[in-house]
Structure formats: structure tokens, C-alpha cells
Structure 1
Amino acid sequence: MTNALRILILEDDAIIGMHLAELLAAMGHEICAIEITEADAVAAARHHRPDLMIVDARLQVGSGISAVESICRHRYVPHVFITGDIVGVRATVPAAIVLEKPFRESLLARAIQQAVSATATR
């Protein structure tokens, strides 16, 4: 089990964002923010300094992929993409940790552990 993490969620669908927040909180994590646009995601990451980001590839304004690139230029933050467009994410970020919507909680827990473990070896 991963230790409790402060997680920033980047998700354009409010219902999915709330579902992810509830699921992650039930797993013992703290949600520092749920953002729906690229600009708000970048600002939230600077403000909250999350341990991990859960990211949808498409946001209401901008891209989750671009948000991650901007955030990680300043400070690397491990991240997991949860999207309906795995092919699109992998085409842009080949080494990305990606889950396809819908997903199982066990796969999310494994992906989080993988993202956090990969950071430890950076």
C-alpha cells in the first residue's frame, strides 16, 4: 500500500472528478484540488505542491498532457493519466502510466504505486 499522498486531480467532467476524489480519499489519500482547465491545474500544482497528479488527457480548456509538461518543468510530480484516449496519450508521452476509462480500483492503486516508485528511481 502506498503511503497517503496529496493528490491533484485534473479532470474536465465534474462527476468523474468527484468520483475519483471519493475513491482516492477512501484509499487514504488527501485531495488538494480538482481542476478542469490547464491554467488552473498549473496554478493549483504550484500552490498545493501535490505528491501525485491524476490526469485526464482532455480538459475543458487546454490539455492534461500540456498541463503535466508545464508543471513538471518547474518541479517533477508523478502522475497517472486516466483517459478514454490511451493511444493519443501514448503517442505524445510513450512512457506514460495510463489507465483507460472505465477502470478498476485495483488497477488505479497499482498505477499510483508504479508512478510513485518510478519517481524514487529518478
Structure 2
Amino acid sequence: MKKLRVMIMEDDNVLASALAELIEVLGHEIVAVEASESAAIASAAFAKPDLMIVDAQLVEGSGVNAVDAITRAGPVPHFFITGDARSLRMLKPEAIILQKPYFDSDLIRAIALAVGISA
């Protein structure tokens, strides 16, 4: 898999740090870690990520709304991480969704699925 420029949207600092560390161990680059909808939208325009890993619910705003706004400018591969996959599936039936808690192997599969390669 080629090195990806990854943006993380996660409002829990501990989870965001652990996720960023794992993404870097996998050989990818973290271009932004944002905790709010507005910051994520601004960062995506600047950083131009190859992949977004998105917590569906943020303390300030929504990861779902941020993705909708970001992808209006063009497609960006992404997947959602959530504690409530059922509700998100009803809202976004076509989305790639990773249910919290998850294993590293699940994350690797989600990345591969989002960028269109086999894991």
C-alpha cells in the first residue's frame, strides 16, 4: 500500500493519539488531527488528505457533517469510527463504518476498503 496522507477527526485526545501512532506505524503520514467539525473542514482544505478517519460524533459538531462539507469539493476516501454503528448505518447506508471498540486488524481492513485495495 502506498504511503497515505491521513487526517483524523476525533475529539478524544487519548484515542486520537493512539490512532495517529498506529497509522504512523503502518507507514502513513498524519497531516491533521482535528476535534471539531469546523476545524476539520478548514484542515482538509489545507492538508488535502488521501484518507480521512472520522469519529461520527464530535463534541463540537459532527464528523458526518464535516465529511459531507469536505467531499462537496471532490471525493476523499474516508471511513467512520463510532460507538453507534446502527444509527450511523441508517444515516449513511453506503458508508464504511468501524464499530468502537475495534482491533488493529479491523482498522487495517477499513483503510484498505476505503482506498480501494484488498487487505
Give distance in 1, aligned partners of 2:85 and 2:3: 27
* Map of 1:115 onto structure 2: 114
- Measured in 2, the distance between the counterparts of 1:3 and 1:100 equals 25
> Which residue of 1 is the match for residue 31 of structure 2?
32
Q: Distance between the aligned counterparts of 2:59 and 2:35, measured in 1?
A: 6
Shift of the alpha carbon at 1:85?
1.0
Which 4+ stretches in 1 moved above 4 angstroms?
A: none
SS in 2 for 1:33: strand
TM-score, structure 2 as length reference = 0.95
Aligned length: 117
Kindly report the root-mean-square deviation, in angstroms, between the aligned alpha carbons of the 2 structures. 1.0
- Is 1:102 aligned to residue 101 of structure 2? yes
When normalised by structure 1's length, the TM-score is 0.93
Counterpart residue identity of residue 25, structure 2: A
In 2: Cα distance, 1:89 partner to 1:44 partner: 24
Counterpart of 2:77, as a letter, is P
Amino acid in the other structure paired with 1:56 = D
Q: Once the 2 structures are TM-superposed, how far is the Cα of residue 107 of structure 1 from its aligned partner?
A: 1.0
What residue number does 2:71 align with? 72
Q: Which runs of 5+ in 2 are unaligned?
A: none
Equivalent residue number for residue 89 of structure 1: 88
Which residue number in structure 1 is paired with residue 12 of structure 2?
13
- Per-residue deviation, 1:16: 0.4
Q: What residue identity is the alignment partner of 2:35?
A: I
Unaligned segments of structure 1, at least 5 residues: none
- For 2:59, the equivalent position in structure 1 comes to 60
Secondary structure at the counterpart of residue 52 of structure 2: strand
Q: Which residue of 1 aligns with 2:41?
A: 42
> How far did residue 89 of structure 1 move?
1.2
